Amino acid sequence: AQSVTQPDIHITVSEGASLELRCNYSYGATPYLFWYVQSPGQGLQLLLKYFSGDTLVQGIKGFEAEFKRSQSSFNLRKPSVHWSDAAEYFCAVALNTGFQKLVFGTGTRLLVSP
Amino acid sequence: NAGVTQTPKFQVLKTGQSMTLQCAQDMNHNSMYWYRQDPGMGLRLIYYSASEGTTDKGEVPNGYNVSRLNKREFSLRLESAAPSQTSVYFCASTPGGHRTAAFFGQGTRLTVV
């Protein structure tokens, strides 16, 4: 069965510093890949997605992610973090079917220090 | 433009009580899903409905039932609530077809005492 690993439970970054959140997946083929963000008490908002093609994908709020097939990774990056980026971030994969059964990682909580 | 709407937002139940969580989407999406979110475990799929008239079990279906009432609505029922069902429940929908992304509701925080 496919699985998603987010090795960092918490990450603290200074405001203005760069950010990289790690995501590794286990799946026999290339799945569809997603990053979602969840602010406290809120639902999940899609940051970006990868289906195929260019391995560097751009998302909302200045985020980007790079798909590396050889490493089974889909890491999320942002060059300069803002205090409003403090939230929980989830990586997810979906099978290549006509609908989506998402498998989520356990999440990484981002804290932004002044 | 409401998107995915869940009701209620908060609920406290006693062990053994039943309740139904409601979900409605106004995006004309074909597929709908129920997930639960527990600390340190991410979100796990409970049930899904790939299209109107069909429902299937996800990863953690025990203790739950679902109904796809029509294309817009997908409800989740707890027949006899247990403390292990204390969680935050999210409904989601997708248009159907390939290369789409899920839209999530705001969640229902359920506590079973």
Element (H, E) at A60: none
A1-29 pLDDT per residue, tens: 778 999 999 999 999 999 999 999 998 77
What pLDDT is stored for residue A96 in this prediction?
64
B97 touches chain A (CB under 8 A): yes
What pLDDT is stored for residue B70 in this prediction?
95
Closest Cβ opposite residue B42 in set A34, A99, A105: A105
What pLDDT is stored for residue B64 in this prediction?
98
The residue-averaged pLDDT of B85-100 equals: 89
Average pLDDT in chain A: 92
A52-100 pLDDT per residue, tens: 888 999 999 999 999 999 999 999 999 999 999 999 999 999 876 666 7
Q: Could you say which DSSP state residue A53 is in?
A: S
Q: Which of residues 92-111 of A touch B (CB under 8 A)?
A: 92, 96-107
Q: Which of residues 35-64 of B touch A (CB under 8 A)?
A: 35, 40-45, 48, 50-51, 58
Domains of chain A in sequence order: 3-113 (2.60.40.10)
pLDDT over 90 at B29, yes or no: yes
B32-87 pLDDT per residue, tens: 999 999 988 899 999 999 999 999 999 999 999 999 999 999 999 999 999 999 99
A3 touches chain B (CB under 8 A): no
What pLDDT is stored for residue B38 in this prediction?
94
The residue among B97, B112, B43, B45 whose CA lies nearest residue B74 is B45
The residue-averaged pLDDT of B16-37 equals: 96
Question: What's the CA gap between A25 and B95, in Å, rounded?
Answer: 24
Quick check: A106 and B41 CB within 8 A? yes
Residue A75 pairs with which residues in a beta bridge? A66
Average pLDDT in chain B: 94
Q: What percent of chain B stands above pLDDT 90?
A: 85
What pLDDT is stored for residue A18 in this prediction?
97
